Amino acid sequence: MGEDKALLFDSVNTLTDILTSRDHRVIVACGGEERAVLFHAECWFDPEDSTSLGEVVHAFVQQHDEEIQLFPCDMYNLDKAAIEAILTQPPGVPVDMNGQEQYTLARIPQGCNLPTSKSLKHLFSELSRNQMESLGARLENFNSPNQIEHQNKSNR
């Protein structure tokens, strides 16, 4: 991408502000300790031996015995209605309008014993799937500079 997706559009802090205004606890998995100053929330640091997002999520879930709602840093089209729909989904993995499983929006039930895996698909293989195609493009992950350029133009 050439840019830190967690800092684009201040999306992490914007989402944090929305969630905390609704009395939700927010913990940002921010990578290393040096990044904690970038975020308005409690930060959690990746385990030193982790080599994949699957390992990071697994470690996070093991350390937090509570229901967990994941939100990624790169879904810049999430609006308040989409956030509400995500927050009210049952435990499971949302499926978007293209049939794509959106693992980084998974709701993980309290006491869930996820398998150890580098792959998010395998990590969440036992969770239900939640059909959320009605949210349309609001569940789009941004993974290319062209998408960012288009988003910049639409925000003007």
134 occurs within a structural domain: yes
In a domain, 3, yes or no: no
Confirm whether 34 is domain-assigned.
yes
Give the total number of structural domains in the chain: 1
List pLDDT tens digits, range 1-58: 456 656 556 678 889 999 999 999 999 999 999 999 999 899 999 999 999 999 999 9
Which tokens in the block code for residue 150?
């288009």
pTM of the model: 0.85
pLDDT value for 4? 63
- Average of per-residue pLDDT across 135-144: 74
Q: How many CB atoms lie within 10 A of CB 70?
A: 20
CATH of residue 104: 3.90.550.10
Q: Is residue 21 part of a domain?
A: yes
Instruction: Tell me whether residue 2 is in a domain.
Output: no
| Percent of the chain residues topping a pLDDT of 90 | 71
**Would residue 40 count as lying in a domain?**
yes
| 152 has pLDDT over 90 | no
Instruction: List the one residue out of 70, 76, 74 whose CA is nearest residue 54.
Output: 70
Domain contains 125 = yes
Report how far apart, in Å, the C-alpha atoms of 95 and of each of 80, 86, 103, 143, 146 are.
19, 11, 9, 18, 24
Q: What is the pLDDT of residue 62?
A: 95
Expressed as residue numbers, the domain containing 132 is: 8-154
Q: What is the mean pLDDT of the chain?
A: 87
Task: Assign 69 to helix, strand or coil.
Answer: strand
> What tens digit of pLDDT does each residue of 71-116 get?
988 888 889 999 999 999 999 999 999 999 999 999 999 999 999 9
